[in-house]
Amino acid sequence: MTETPPISNTTAVAPPAKPGRSLLDDPNVLGWGSIVLTLLVWELMTRLFGVSALYLPRPSQIVVALITMFGNGSLAIDLAVTLWRIFAGFAIALVLGTLLGLWISTSFRTRAVADMFIAALYPLPKVTLIPLLIIWLGTGGPFMLTISFLGAIFPIVINTVLGVSQCDPGLVLAARDLGANQQQIMRRVLLPSAIPSIFAGMRLGLGVSIILVVAAEMVVGKTGLGARLYLAGQILETEQVFAVLIVLAALGIVVTKLQDAVDASLSNWRID
């Protein structure tokens, strides 16, 4: 009788084959594909049911309006004006909000005073301040910068305080043992530790600033995306209304993706 050779324990077992990665597993394909699909359904349904462009224009009509408005330069100017108002006020809020948040975090008395003002002013809808700011500042550039500033300052301050409060006390003690003064501790220990929270406040604050600036432009602006949106609605140019909304949506996507890229870079910097 022939004996069957024993099976070796070292016999290699082939790993299970991994399923092939399809395009539907790519987040970018899913995200952009859903937008394209929505636009195609929108175009087909409006053509099929003969929906009037006064109520719901087709995407192709909106694209024509976009090309026309960018072609004559009107929409590009309005976009540039709105972006300047948003980011100028936001930049001021970022610098002052971060410094104020560090000050509040490191001073017990300042924190006790600031808590009352933040608790009173932060829940207040900033849109309700527009009439008062118009009385104080008029309807020009200072008014627009102030409304953008007010939209961003509170989220940045609150998240800075939160980030500093979550810093490891051992790092602060180690820095003091090495002879660091208060300014060096704030710059080298507290601020880097609070960067993720500060960035979260930036994301929230920038979104609020965009909303407030566009709302203010709709009320008092003569230029800007908000003013263009309001004027198009007044003269029943629905294609232009949707064109401006598309620009605002695209602005939101670009800002979000840029923030994600900066967030990833800052995370790598903190790890290094």
| pLDDT tens profile 215-233 | 999 988 888 999 999 999 9
pLDDT in tens, 78-125: 999 999 999 999 999 999 999 999 889 888 888 888 888 888 888 888
Domains annotated on the chain, with CATH: 80-237 (1.10.3720.10)
Q: Cα 28 from chain centroid?
A: 19
What's the rounded mean pLDDT across residues 190-198?
84
Residue indicated by tokens 């009320």 = 219
Burial 205-231 (b: 16+ CB within 10 A, else e): bbbbbbbbbbbbbbebbeebbbbbbbb
Determine the pLDDT at residue 2. 47
Burial class (CB in 10 A: 0-12, 13-18, 19+), 34: exposed
Q: How long is the chain?
A: 272
Q: Is 70 exceeded by the pLDDT of residue 270?
A: no
pLDDT over 50 at 155, yes or no: yes
In this model, does residue 13 exceed pLDDT 80? no
- Indicate the pTM of the whole model: 0.81
Share of residues in the chain with pLDDT > 90 (%): 34
Confidence of residue 16 (pLDDT cuts 50, 70, 90): low
Q: How confident is the model at residue 174 (pLDDT cuts 50, 70, 90)?
A: confident
CB 61 within 8 A of CB 245: no
Choose between 248 and 165: higher pLDDT.
248
- DSSP, collapsed to helix, strand or coil, labels residue 56 as coil
Query: Among 113-117, 153-157, 241-245, where is mean pLDDT lowest?
Result: 113-117
Of 73-82, 97-106, 142-151, 186-195, give the lowest mean pLDDT range.
Answer: 186-195
Question: Taking 70 as the threshold, does the pLDDT of residue 4 lie above it?
Answer: no
